[in-house]
Amino acid sequence: MGLLVVYAALLRDHRNQTFEREYVQLEITAHLSAAWLRSSAETAAGERCRTRPSEEACQAWLEDLAPPPPLLLTVFDAAGRVVARLPPAPDAWQTTVDHPVVRHFSLSDLRSLRFRSLSPIDGVERFYVIYRISQEDHFIVVGSPTLDATQRIARRGLLLGFVLLLLCGLGYLLLRRHRAVLSAEQRLRDQRKALEGANARLRESERRFKHLFAGAHGIAIQGYHPDGRVFFWNEGSEQLYGRAASDMIGTDGLALFPDDANRQEARAFVDRLLRGEQLPPLREYRLLRADGQPLYVLTHHVVFRPDDGPPELYTIALDMTHLKALEAQLRERATRDALTGLWNRGYFLQQAERQLRDARETRHGAALLMVDADHFKRVNDQHGHSAGDAVLVGLARRMEGSLRDTDLLGRLGGEEFAVVLPRVTLAMALQGAERLRQAVESSPFAVGDLSLPLTVSVGVALWPEDGSNLDALMEAADRALYAAKERGRNRVVHLAGP
């Protein structure tokens, strides 16, 4: 709507300017024509038209002026009659033009006058300028068809409209471009703001990561490249492994493993993780500290896959060395006799069953010895339980020294012990039992300032002759032990048959 208002205003201004130019040109033409007619009034043609007017004479006088088409040039006398007209019109000569403007001008003393009107002679609408040739008689009217002016106005209006449309189109394009630029700038500002926010969050995340993990005490966190090289090593790792981060960054993390077999196992596990296999993330490893001491760790592994680089392996390691030591102690307490360090009753019986299964599978003989310290109650009664405990410990060491590495020795309780001899015949079993008895009897046990002699009685049972299972063998060995006690102690006895 605003564009139409602007276009109408411009078109109106252009029309007014065009009309003004038309009138100015007509005034100049009228002025020049009047000047020419005054100067040519004394010529023969002019004299004849003025003194003896006729259509031919006046027309000949005016034709010498030769105005350019499409201008209309008419000379009137003081009464308003047509004296001459170019271009000529039939029956126009001496025609009185009854036009209000012409009447007004002929009665006034105006030098010139502008008006726009239809011609009473030919009916054509024109712009007119009346110009007085002299103050007494003739005046000249110069006209230009309004059609030419309106056509020019129309043409220029169309041109102006086209230019305006073009400018509007260019303005619209520029506006769209400007809006697009503004929108792009706004998007860039938004993206820049979002990027700055993301960078700020990333920096905060990195700061939090360093605060929580890089300086975490007691929690070892490491980062590894796919080839095993270390790129992250926090303070907890320095404390756990006894190795500084400056010494570890860029080195092969597999060097922490004690041997090639463990390195290959760990390498295979890492490769499977990096391939994306779903594996239990918790693993236990035996590693080496910088001082060569063994280190047991429980590790949790996480693979991080960044968008712009190779995968990264992060490992969180917890020190399990103390727990492993406690576990070993518990296992020792669960299987060892607290006083002598020999296998306790429960573990001995468990291992004895396994030895008998091996004997069945290999079809080799085995023997069970029941050993009891003779008159051990006297040691406790005469010298106290501390001395008795010391004698039992010494007794266990002497029995261990008399046996083979493959033999199984355990304390069943009190001063009673048992031995399993795998892969033996009866003769070999009796020989081994006798060697044990002699080792105990060989010298007294030194307990402080005391020298305490001690002997043992031994009952022997042979598998499978004396029993096909452990319970039967223990019953047979017990009977043989009681027989040894009844026969005077300090001896080895095997009872043949059931």
Which of the residues are catalytic?
415
- In 3-state terms the chain splits into helix, strand, coil percentages (rounded to 5) of 50, 20, 25
Instruction: Match 């303005």 to its residue by tokens.
Output: 171
Tell me how far CA of residue 485 lies from CA of 373, 421, 455, in angstroms.
Answer: 10, 22, 11
Residue 297 has which token pair? 């760790």
- Please count the other Cβ atoms lying within 10 Å of the Cβ belonging to residue 212: 12
Residue 484 has which token pair? 């040894």
CA 328, CA 333: separation in Å to the nearest integer?
A: 8
Three-state SS string across 164-230, please?
Answer: HHHHHHHHHHHHHHHHHHHHHHHHHHHHHHHHHHHHHHHHHHHHHHHHHHHCCCCCEEEEECCCCEE
CA 437, CA 440: separation in Å to the nearest integer?
A: 5
Half-sphere exposure of 318 (CA within 13 A, CB side): 10
Tell me how far CA of residue 383 lies from CA of 2, 454, 457, in angstroms.
Answer: 128, 14, 22
> If we measure between CA atoms, which residue out of 300, 252, 254, 261 comes closest to residue 279?
300
For residue 345, report the phi and psi dihedrals to the nearest 5 degrees: -60, -45
Q: Are 133 and 38 in contact (CB under 8 A)?
A: yes
The string of DSSP codes covering 91-129 is T-TT-B---HHHHHHHHS--SEEEEEEE-TTT--EEEEE
Look at residue 313 and give its three-state secondary structure: strand
54 Cβ neighbours under 8 A, 6+ residues apart? 48
For residue 442, report the phi and psi dihedrals to the nearest 5 degrees: -60, -35
Residue 267 has which token pair? 């390498």
Cα 434–Cα 436–Cα 438 angle in degrees, nearest 5: 70
Does residue 88 have a cis bond before it (omega within 30 degrees)? no
CA 221, CA 219: separation in Å to the nearest integer?
A: 6
Half-sphere exposure of 347 (CA within 13 A, CB side): 16
Q: Are 224 and 312 in contact (CB under 8 A)?
A: yes
